[in-house]
Structure 1
Amino acid sequence: VDVASQGESVAEARDNLAEALALFFETAPAGEISRRLHGEVYVTQIEIAVG
């Protein structure tokens, strides 16, 4: 699902994400959940130069 979160630390962001996901699955209608499920997930890191 396309749910995002943030926090002051990685641990806090992870906890906030878990809470956001739990609330989503508890309250979203089945059709909404189905529309947001994706068969493929891509995760990557990039490095950029600033300045």
Structure 2
Amino acid sequence: MRSPSVPQYTVGMTFRVVLEHDSETGDYSAVCPELPGCASAGETEEEARANIREAIELYLAPGEIDVPENAKLFEVTVG
């Protein structure tokens, strides 16, 4: 059984991002160390910042969950 709906999380969260400029290509890379594998890039610093914001949003976006028929699904709020 699939979860009835995908929740939308709206709580503001702050993450640290490492932004690096590549002097050879002129591009910028952005990595969020707190979210393994979450990285992006851009031709400008502004583009890299916008792209990593989108990458973090996609990384944190909840997906569907398979719930066995005899199980319950509930949400927990922390913080």
Q: If the length of structure 2 is used for normalisation, what is the TM-score?
A: 0.33
Of structures 1 and 2, the larger Rg is shown by 2
